[in-house]
Structure 1
Amino acid sequence: MKQLEVQIMGQSYLLGCPEGGEARLRQVASRVDEAMCKIREAGKVRSRDRIAVLAALNLAFDTPEPVAAPTPDLLTFAALPTDESNKFKQLLQRLDAALTSDDQLL
């Protein structure tokens, strides 16, 4: 397994990468960097951990068709049934509350 260095939000990460997967890993790291930088630039979220969680949620629910970039404090789950969408919104609110109350996060 190769090691590959990528930059995400200005920070270097050394990642394990299978042979032949370098281009794909760089592409994925670029998407993560872009998603995290958009959230940071919106100015409403400062915690790197919280930015990472929101970016992960946004990427996990990304659809193949182009959609407007979700705002960091309001994710839309248009492809989900209403009850599932509400569950995710409640989970996000609980996550926000937990991250906000933990003074250890930067």
Structure 2
Amino acid sequence: MSSSNSVTVQILDKEYSIICPPEERSNLVSAARYLDGKMREIRSGGKVIGADRIAVMAALNITHDLLHRQDTPEISVNGSTREQVRDLLERVDLVLATDQDGSKG
């Protein structure tokens, strides 16, 4: 993994290194901060326990918000935005899958 293409982000007190094109770095960092905030909100609610479950709930909430905005006429989501969200969700899935080394978060 080339460190020049790698971005380290922190989500729910864990660091993740993600390969990312230089032109997408700021978007990735912003997405990670947003996700971290959503996951912290869910964790602080105290009803969901475990990083995996918190991540799924955050993903569902974010997706729900995105789809709700898509239905709102003045805010449209184009195909490129959908593809970016899909790509980010795939990256999150990959990181979560590779992080299943027996540690619980």
Shorter-chain TM-score bucket reads: 0.5 to 0.7
Counterparts in 2 of 1:58 and 1:105: CA distance versus 1, 3 Å = farther
TM-score (norm 2): 0.58
Which of 11, 16, 19 is the equivalent residue of 2:14?
11
Whole-angstrom distance in 2 between the partners of 1:54 and 1:105: 20
1:105 to partner: Cα distance: 9.2
Q: Which runs of 5+ in 2 are unaligned?
A: 70-101
Please, what is the CA RMSD of the aligned residues? 2.2
Q: Which runs of 5+ in 1 are unaligned?
A: 65-103
Structure in which a larger fraction of residues adopt helix: 2
Whole-angstrom distance in 1 between the partners of 2:46 and 2:62: 19
TM-score (norm 1): 0.58
Whole-angstrom distance in 1 between the partners of 2:103 and 2:5: 32
Alignment coverage as a number of residue pairs: 68
- Percent of aligned positions with the same letter in both sequences? 37
